[in-house]
Structures are given as C-alpha cells and as structure tokens.
Amino acid sequence: MSLSPSNSLEPPKRDSPPVFFSKTCQNCFALKIRCDRTQRNDICDRCARLGKNCVFRPARRRDNSAKRDSRIQALEQQVQDLLRLQRAGPASQQSLPEGSASMVTSSSESASSTSTHNAELLGEAIVAPELADTLVDLYKSDMMAHFPYVCLAPHVNGRMLRYDKPFLYVAVLSVASYHDPVTQEKLVDKFKQLVSEKVFLGGNDMLTLEYLQGLLVVLAWNHYHHKSQYFSQYLLLAVSIAVDSRYDRKPVRSQPGSATEKRNPLYEPESGWGSEEQRATAGLFFLSSTISRLFDKTNTFPYTRYIEDGCLALKERAEFKTDRELHHVVRLQRMIEAIDMLASPTFSDEETNQAFMQTRAEFDRFGNELKSEVDDRSFVVVQYHTARLFLYQVSFFERKLHRDSAIYLSALREGIEAAKQFLDFCLSLRTKAELNLTNAEWVQLDFGTTLAAKFVLAGEDPAVEAQTRDVRKELNFPHVIRQMCLRVSALASRADGPNRENDVFAYFDQRLRKVRLWYESMSRVAYPGLEADTQQTSTWRQESQTLHHTNYAGPAAYGMQENVGYSGPPVPAASILNPDVSAPAQFTETFQTAQEGGASGFPQIPSWDIQSATPHIARSSFGAGSSAGSQY
C-alpha cells in the first residue's frame, strides 16, 4: 500500500486564464515618463540603470470583456460551422449544433425575406435587371439631353443605380419604359407607393438629394405619370426638399466635428454645394418658372443669385457637355419673367413700347451668342424660341402694342417669323423623337402652335394681308399643323386597343386637331372676304376620319356645327385688331361671341391641360379656357 496521496484526491487541474501586465512599471507610471524595455523583459531600462525594484502591475480589463469574448467565440463558432457545412455539402447539415443550425436558418430566412421585400419595393418583380440596364442606358443616351439637370455618369448602370439611389432608380425606369405602356403603368404605381412611404412619411430622412432628383425626373416627364395629375403635389414636395436643405443659397458654414478636424490646420468646410445639388436646384427653378409663366401661376421656387452662380460654376467645370448650357436657360427664364411684367397695367403704353424695343434687341444679342456656343439641336434652342414667342404674345395680344402704327406691322411680321422658326425646329426632329420630349417641351410646343395660329389669323386681316403675305406663305401654317398632327397620331397608334384611351399621345393628338379646327373655323368666320381653302379642309377631314382608326369625326365630335360662315354685309378694310375702323354690327357681334366661346357654332380655343386648365395663351384675344382644374 502506497503512502503517496491518491490521484483521486487531487483537485482537478484547470487552465487558468493568462494574466496580462501593463506596459509601464510603477516607478515610471508615478513619474509619468516613458518606460522602455530594450535590454531585459523583466525590468525596464531606467530601473536597471538606477538599481530600483521594477514592478509591473496586472492590466485591468474592461467590464464588458467577458461579454465581448463570448460574442466573439459565438461568431467564430458560427463561421466554423458555416465553413464546415460548405466543405462537407448538404449531408453535413445534421452534424451542426442545434442552436447554431437554428441561428443560421433564421438568419438566412431573414436575409432572403429582406432581399425579396427590397426587390418588390424597387420594382424588380416588374422589370428584370437586364431590362433595367437597358432603360437606364436609354435615359442617358436619349432622354437626359432634354432635361440635363439629373445626369448619370457613363459608367452607371441599372444595378449600380438601384443600390446607390433606389428612389431615383424607380423614377428613371418609370419614365424610360414608354415603349411598354403596361409595364410603365406598373412602375408609375410603384413610384407613387415610394413617394407615400419614403417622402410623405419619411420625416427628416427625406431631405436628401436622391429624393429631389427622383421627383425632378418624374416632373420632367410627368405626362407619363397618369397624364400629369400629380404635378403640383410633386412640385411642392421637391420645393420643400430644396428649401429645407438650403440648396438655393450658400450652405451654412459647419463647425469641425471631431478632434482630428479641430487640430487639422488645413481643415476647411465645403464652401458650396456639389455639382449634383447645383444641377437639381437649377432644374427645379426651370420647371417652376416655366410653368408659372406659361400658365400664369405663382412661381413657387423663385430665382436667387446663388442659382445662377451655381450654373456658372458648372459651366467652368463642364463635367457634362450640357453643363455649359444651363446658364443660358437661367438667363432666358429671367428674361421671360421680365417680359411678363410688361402685361402689368402699371406701365404706360410709352414705357411698354420702349421696353419692348429693348427686350427685342436683347433677344437679338442673345441669339448671336447661342449660335456660337450652343448646338442647333440643344434643348436651349426650344427655350429661346419660346421666350421670343412669349415676348410677342404679351406685347402684341395683351398690351395691344399693335395700336401703335409705328411698330404694328413690324411686330406682326416678326411674330410670324418667330413662330416659323419654332415650328420648323419641331418638325426637324428625327422620327419618334417626341417620345423623349419633356412635359415642359410639350407645353411649349402647344404654346408655339396656338400662338402661330393667332399670328396667322392676325396677318390675314385685310388691312395688312398684303404686307404679311410673304411671311405667311413661308410659314404655311395649314401644312405645318397637318404634318404635326400626322406625327403625333403615329405616336398615339403605339397604344392601340383598350390602352389607347389612356395614352397621353392620344390626348396630344386630339389637342392638335382641336387647334387645327379652331384655326380653320376662326379664319372662315373672321375674314369672310378671303377665299377659303376648301380643298385643303376637305382633305384634312378625310385624314381625321381615317388616321389610326380614331373616333374623331370633324367639328361635330366637339359639339360644333359643320357649316360655319358669315352671311352679312361685306366687311370694309378693317379688322378686329383695329378698333378705330368700324365694322358691321352683325360681324362684330358674331366674332365677339365666337371669341368668348359662347356660340356652339364657333370652337373655343382648347386649353392645354387635360383637366381644362387655362394656359397663359388663353389670356389673349383668340380664346378662353376654363380654370376649373389643372395639372400644374
């Protein structure tokens, strides 16, 4: 029998955790000096040199170190289990610990459900990723040039845009999918859902550039979104984001946040907004100013000097080709706003005439600048022609500067010439390029077409018919309006069947036909002494009944009489534009009734809005519209 202690009585050996010591001995710690151990590990250099007792106290661990270690160990165990599962294949799933397996399964299910929800939220269930890349490329190549305020870099594709800016991603797809109206309608509904969830209910999280850019894209091509029913709401949302984010003025100088920034002598906060913010701000001003002037409404995002300075900075950097043209658009909008002031009754006729001459000279100088700096196909050209027509609209038809015989004939001829240049530019667009036009460009197209009809009617006045015959012949408005109807009718035919009624181009087609009918009816009523082109009118009626199987059936389709004419005494060499020369009472009363839209036999000039809004052109003397509802 052995006297040695039994092994069963020995306490079990346990692995004690390692003890960590501080890097500074007690002597150096008390003196607050550096403690170096270059010669020995058990004593520092200073204590060895001075012969002192060198003691290193145990390092204190943080209170949460145990929790941290346990979390690290748990994560390491999960990683090891996943790696073992991946190496061994499906058969090894049974060898996983129960808790680890359930954790892996729940995490994978959560990730799968999250990705599925995000895919549905961003429209992946509607548009495949490959098609999304194609639509983003279409936006960059064909559409972005018409609204260069939300620019995408050449390397950006659908997948990148989806992960970086998902709200802008859905907005771009919703306007670029015009070749498939059914898919586009689904994307439009998806965008409305995102606006409700992310913008209306987003709080301060909505104050980001991404939401402003997405709203601007939809505002630019808003006719694809339920025929612009939500334009005003989207515009005010965009204005609220821009104003709350102070994009229209210099940002507030920020204080350095971290200690590193405070100690950095080279630290300087950003002195201004970036290029994307400056483009978005200029685009919002353009939309708000254009709609407010052409539709005689309040400008909800007025001009500030900082907006123009931002466009000048973009012109210097020229990251995109169109950055050089944004400053010209701001100048044109400022000129349009100045022209609108001419309609104010506070200015006398002499002051208005002088302002008209000065503005006309300024337009000539501006046009010469554009010829040397801007491409003939640039979107700025449309703005320039619209601004010129707006000048003659306000001065000729609203302030009635034609009463001044000194500038009457000159202004009338120049108005017809300006209308010709505008319509020639529109007809020079390549086939189906109208699909890429923005909503503002469609409004300007209607403005120019209707104003051209008004100037041609004014030029047919017997008092000036001989002096304006050459410019009216060059314009050839009956032929131009017929060609425009044919082009838009071809676009409307893309949605044959049940979708045609809701297609926006079917409405545009109907709108142009109404303008054409209005012009021909007014020409026959107002100037019965001139010979009517009966053959051309008959040809147009045949086209109207056969084009693309539409339900249009001439004037009767709009509640108008087929035979509209004037059977009264001959009209002297006078005109509705010259009130100083008397005309027969029957003729004057008949034209006034037609002008006010009060007789069923005279077509009322239709408004541009789907909901019968009153555009700025309806303030003039050739028609009036109802302002009961508005898309703007």
- What are the pLDDT digits (tens) for 341-397? 877 777 777 787 888 888 889 998 998 888 888 777 778 988 999 999 999 888 788
Q: Please identify which residue in the block is written with the tokens 């017809």.
A: 416
CB 623 within 8 A of CB 514: no
User: Largest Cα–Cα distance of the chain, in whole Å?
Assistant: 152
Half-sphere exposure of 600 (CA within 13 A, CB side): 7
Cα→Cα distances 609→14, 288, 446, Å: 86, 16, 10
pLDDT at 632: 44
pLDDT band at 522 (very low <50, low <70, confident <90, very high): confident
CB 555 within 8 A of CB 603: yes
What's the whole-model pTM score? 0.68
DSSP annotation of 578 reads: B
| Measured distance CA(562)–CA(428) in Å, rounded | 34
Q: Please identify which residue in the block is written with the tokens 């019965």.
A: 528
Angle in degrees, 0-180, between the axes of helices 231-244 and 209-220, rounded to the nearest 10: 150
Residue 34 has pLDDT above 50, yes or no: yes
Mean pLDDT throughout 25-49?
88
Cα→Cα distances 318→230, 276, 279, 526, 543, Å: 33, 12, 12, 52, 47
CB 304 within 8 A of CB 292: no
Q: How many helices (H) and strands (E) does the chain have?
A: 23, 0
- What are the pLDDT digits (tens) for 563-618? 333 333 333 333 333 323 333 333 333 333 334 433 333 334 344 332 333 333 44
Q: Which two tokens stand for residue 632?
A: 């703007």
CB 168 within 8 A of CB 217: yes
- Other beta carbons within 10 Å of 403: 13
Cα→Cα distances 338→251, 289, 331, 458, 507, Å: 28, 12, 11, 25, 33
SS3 label, residue 348: coil
Of 583 and 188, the one with more pLDDT:
188
pLDDT at 371: 83
Find the radius of gyration of the CA atoms of the chain.
37
- What are the pLDDT digits (tens) for 72-91? 777 777 777 777 666 555 44
Question: Which of 331, 321, 313 lies closest to 384 in space, CA to CA?
Answer: 331
SS3 label, residue 51: coil
pLDDT at 602: 32
- In the chain, where are the structural domains located? 20-60, 65-120, 299-584
**Start-end of H helices in 320-438:** 326-340, 349-373, 379-392, 405-427
CB 125 within 8 A of CB 173: no
Cβ neighbours of residue 466 under 8 Å, at least 6 residues apart? Answer: none
The amino acid at residue 155 is H
- Other beta carbons within 10 Å of 49: 10
Residue 101 has pLDDT above 80, yes or no: no
Q: Which two tokens stand for residue 113?
A: 């459900």
Mean pLDDT of the chain: 74
Q: Which two tokens stand for residue 588?
A: 């004057």
